[in-house]
Structure 1
Amino acid sequence: MTTTTHQTLLPTGQSIDEARAEGERAFALDRAHVFHSWSAQEQITPMTILAAEGSYVWDGSGTRLLDFSSQLVNTNIGHQHPTVVAAVQAQAAKLCTIAPQYVNDARSEAARLIAERTPGDLNKVFFTNGGADAVEHAVRMARLHTGRYKVLSRYRSYHGGTDTAINLTGDPRRWPNDRGNSGIVHFNGPFLYRSQFHSADEAQETERALAHLDQLVAMEGPSTIAAIILESVPGTAGIMVPPPGYMAGVREICDRHGIVFIADEVMAGFGRTGKWFAIDHFDVVPDLITFAKGVNSGYVPLGGVAINAEIAATFANRAYPGGLTYSGHPLATAAAVATINAMEEEKIVENAARIGNEILGPGLRELAQRHPSIGDVRGLGVFWAIELVTDRQTREPLAPYGASSPAMNEVIAACKSAGLLPFANFNRIHAVPPCTVTDAEVREGLAILDTALSVADAHTAH
């Protein structure tokens, strides 16, 4: 099943032949000069993207692919949303940049719109350039507010690539950067499919995971712990939706010991799970929320920290020792304003919830019934993981933790050759299309996955 287009024009109006020529030059320059993240430079052949629109991208040959990755799970409103593109253009004509100490209307309005949607009294917003530096600043605020230093973070998590954020991260990307001297202590969070607590059901997993965390806090010394940071729904690490009661239990532990609860919503926020923030699924109010990605679909880099009244008051008459040249950049915050307004007016968050409940979730579960390579599917909204295994009984992953495998590479190649751009990590394919995805596009993606998973099935003990 191939979706190679026979178009002569891209959505930009440019001919495919012209775009290909530009793409070939861009690829040559990339290989000569660009240093790529998370990569051995001589071992990669990065895909060239000529154009993008809605839920689709066009690769260097002009082939259209359905973007089931939302790039890095950030294009929540899809590619080239006309309202947001127009807002960035209008802001550029009005005021391209201004230093953060000055008021600008785009930043003020973005802060208002975000504060209206955060739970509880998280009504102050400190803007950053992305998710990792949002996490850095949230941790700094927690340490200064409490006068404590340690921060607890779970294994199977990702919090960013900067120094503190990568040490908080609980996946193998931390290992080359971790010297054990950053004040970070990791713990096991709930993940019933691969439970560390030998749990039989979700209730047991919640109970045992909370007991583990409570004991760790006691052993580390509550008076030494500034914060516990959790992705409301862990993303890159596997989209493990916390079982009922877990997040409320973490909130109780934090309250009991005066520990700041930081909810990392960088990937899960702004509609991805079918609510504005994933933490809203659990009726819990954290003290700080970090965000980025979906706040403006990555059209211009933007992140931030939403801050509750108590922590904000710490810095009412005491200078906060941190800042960024581009904090609240006008182009980025104008994009955020347009994005949030479009999500509201077009009911994009509601669409993500409906797609997950009615089409994507049921469709993935139906695939799991027919493909022995699927060990588990889980998710919310347009935020789903497909766990691939070689044996359902032993749950042996199709690729080892922290690595890929020839079998996984075959599955990814099958997706791409059939017209689907997947998000893959270790032994998982994540189904994470834009929140604007249509029913027909989801069904198209499921059909391609159906074909590609036959490749995975060939590697199973069935």
Structure 2
Amino acid sequence: MTDINEKELLALEAEYCSYGDTVHYIEPAKIFESCEGTWLYDTAGRPYLDMQMWYSAVNFGYRNQEIEEPHNRQLKRLPQLACQYLHKEKILLAAKIARETEKRFGMKGRVHFNVGGAQAIEDSMKLIRNFRGGKSLMFAFMGGYHGRTLGCSEITSSYRYRRRYGHFGSRASFIPYPYCYRCFYGLKRESCGYECVNQFEKLFETEYYGVLDPKAGEAEFAAFYVEPLQATGGYIAPPPEYFAKLDKILKRYNILLVDDEIQMGFYRTGKLWALEHFGVKPDIVTFAKSLTNGLNPLSGVWAKEEMIKPEVFPPGSTHSTFSSNPLGTAAGLATMEYIDRHDLETSVKETTDWGWHCG
């Protein structure tokens, strides 16, 4: 069927493909045939500039040979292996991410791999429930996006992602994101006194607000899922002191901070983890997308040692057939080596003014 034309392909798509994950931005829809750098090419060779770089999955450019070639070498050597077995690239990649994260946040931790960002979020939920004695309620931001599995939909704010699928018993409590340009409270950043943080703190003033048992000194909520800079919600940066103020409240009430770096990680903002801009330390970091520069759906969770050490999170706690697959770990390791070679933190700082946006 290699000689099939575009019209015939579109007819097959209309009859046999689910539209559940497809958007026809124009009619007839375009069929893409190749990619390079920041460009996509349709079957006629016409170029299209990808302004979002595949939802931040290819931060380092389509067909980046410094990442693609190690991936292809792995294809010829060890392309397949069950996830419960060890291979060199898995160990080296986990060690690299854990060491880089410890360097930035000063905490020892471990890395668990999966496939797809939503699956990394699901694994983080398992870690939290296990560590917090089964607590399943979370805080998350209005405008936040953390995936569309049933579990992830509970902490993704848009109701349209849940509407078709019934009741969600552990639906998050959604808190206004600090979007100063369109302030939820109608205030001005210069004079608001961080009212968004003040309103969140107010939830803990009395048991009648449904969050805290003051007699036990225990909150009903286990964790707060954050995107340091909102991605799908509009590429929004918070005011500079927001997360430091929020973190003090979370620590006071023993609520975990989960840093979702799936879209903003890997130097999208000039740092390995976007949360670095704000001087706070997460309990969990989730990542995916540009971990492999889009060559493989490998994803992962970094968690602090006390949450993920084998005595707490033992073998068999979670599993996915293709997690830590050798092609993904080889691409991930190549990506981390690419980052080191090109000193991306320096180059991004020299070519952008990101600090202004966060200030």
Q: TM-score, normalised by structure 1?
A: 0.69
Which residue does the alignment assign to 2:147? 160
Q: Is the 8 A contact 1:167 1:178 kept in 2?
A: no
Between structures 1 and 2, the one with greater helix share: 1
Which residue does the alignment assign to 1:116? 99
Q: Is the 8 A contact 2:155 2:171 kept in 1?
A: no
Q: Is the 8 A contact 2:131 2:312 kept in 1?
A: no
Please point out which of 210, 216, 226 is paired with 2:197: 210
Q: Is the 8 A contact 1:20 1:61 kept in 2?
A: no
Which residue does the alignment assign to 2:86? 103
Please point out which of 182, 195, 212 is paired with 2:183: 195
- In structure 2, the gaps of 5 or more residues are 213-217
Q: Is the 8 A contact 1:273 1:353 kept in 2?
A: no
Whole-angstrom distance in 2 between the partners of 1:313 and 1:214: 32
Q: What is the deviation of 1:278?
A: 0.2
Partner deviation per Cα, 1:168-204 (whole Å, 9 max, x = no partner): 0112443414624124211112111111122211562
Cα distance change, pair 21–53 in 1 and its aligned pair in 2 (3 A): farther
Secondary structure at the aligned position of 2:192 is classed as helix
* % same residue: 25
Equivalent positions of 1:345-360 (< 5 A) are: 345-357=341-353
For residue 123 of structure 1, what is the amino acid of its counterpart? G
Q: What is the deviation of 1:44?
A: 6.7
Cα distance change, pair 44–72 in 1 and its aligned pair in 2 (3 A): farther
Equivalent positions of 1:286-301 (< 5 A) are: 286-301=282-297
Please point out which of 43, 46, 49 is paired with 1:60: 43
Instruction: Work out the number of aligned pairs and report it.
Output: 343
1:133 matched to 2:133? The reply is no
Cα distance change, pair 353–67 in 1 and its aligned pair in 2 (3 A): farther
For residue 128 of structure 1, what is the amino acid of its counterpart? N
Equivalent positions of 1:301-312 (< 5 A) are: 301-312=297-308
Which residue does the alignment assign to 1:7? none
Q: Is the 8 A contact 1:152 1:225 kept in 2?
A: yes
Whole-angstrom distance in 1 between the partners of 2:188 and 2:166: 34
Secondary structure at the aligned position of 2:259 is classed as strand
**Larger deviation, residues 45-54 vs 273-282:** 45-54
Cα distance change, pair 351–28 in 1 and its aligned pair in 2 (3 A): farther
- In structure 1, the gaps of 5 or more residues are 1-18, 363-377, 381-462
Cα distance change, pair 323–66 in 1 and its aligned pair in 2 (3 A): same
Q: Is the 8 A contact 2:40 2:49 kept in 1?
A: yes
**Larger deviation, residues 323-332 vs 20-29:** 20-29
For residue 199 of structure 1, what is the amino acid of its counterpart? L
Which residue does the alignment assign to 2:32? 49
Secondary structure at the aligned position of 2:329 is classed as helix
Q: Is the 8 A contact 1:233 1:239 kept in 2?
A: yes
For residue 127 of structure 2, what is the amino acid of its counterpart? M
Whole-angstrom distance in 1 between the partners of 2:201 and 2:184: 15
Secondary structure at the aligned position of 1:182 is classed as coil
Secondary structure at the aligned position of 1:304 is classed as strand
Whole-angstrom distance in 1 between the partners of 2:23 and 2:50: 25
